[in-house]
Amino acid sequence: MRIITGKARGLQLTVPKTYDVRPTADRVKESVFNIIGSKIIGARVLDLFAGTGNLGLESWSRGASAVTFIDESKESLRLVRSNIAKCRAEEDCTVLKGSAPSVAERLAVSCELFDIAFCDPPYNKGWVQQIVELLGRRPFLQDGGYLVVERSAHDELGALPAGCELVRSQRYGETIVDFIKWNIFEK
């Protein structure tokens, strides 16, 4: 697993020794960032299920101004911190321990909003639906921000709350990536 482009281009990230974490495949990651394009430049990014920090660090490498990583696994948090140090990105990164929905809600309550949030949780556990529901109830995105969801083809996205618009959905084998735009003024 590597950083594809930007200021940390080609850097190999530390990966887990077990299969508890499922990092986004490089081909899927490259496609996601091609779709996001220049929206990443200067963006405040939230990596909800950080795992290794793969998506957040790719964002940072491509020009995101700040990245916040959330995970509840001590091993994942160790990997994220190690990979942040490898990239020399400590100044622009924050690592928070806890359940992604709880921490995202806490950030929303304190008016800490993001331009792009990545939701790449363990598949088929109901996490995607929890995060989408939370966005409708307690928005953690700026108006016009994007929630990028990676899910199994067997995991339904479900109904989107008011203010959420599915603008694109891409399938990569058994993986689906959804791009959900948050439009607070269209509620």
Does some domain include residue 151?
A: yes
Would you say residue 7 lies in a domain?
A: no
**pLDDT (tens digit per residue) in 124-175:** 899 999 999 999 999 999 999 999 999 999 998 989 999 999 999 999 999 9
Which residue bears the tokens 């016009």? 144
In a domain, 93, yes or no: yes
Structural contact between residues 69 and 53, judged by C-beta atoms closer than 8 angstroms: yes
Q: What is the pLDDT of residue 124?
A: 85
**CATH code of the domain covering residue 48:** 3.40.50.150
Q: Give residue for tokens 């020399």.
A: 88
For residue 181, tell me if it sits in a domain.
yes
CA dist 162 and 87 (Å) reads 38
In a domain, 175, yes or no: yes
Q: For the chain, what is the domain count?
A: 1
State the pLDDT at residue 187: 46
Measured CA to CA, the distance from residue 187 to residue 184 in angstroms comes to: 6
Residue 14 belongs to some domain of the structure:
no
Q: Is residue 144 part of a domain?
A: yes
Q: Answer yes or no: is pLDDT of 33 > 80.
A: yes
Q: What phi and psi values does residue 92 have, to the nearest 5 degrees?
A: -105, 5
Angle made by CA atoms 118, 123, 127, in degrees to the nearest 5: 60
In a domain, 10, yes or no: no
**Position 53 pLDDT exceeds 80:** yes
Q: Which two tokens stand for residue 147?
A: 């929630």
Domain that holds residue 38: 26-186
* Integer Rg of the chain from CA: 15
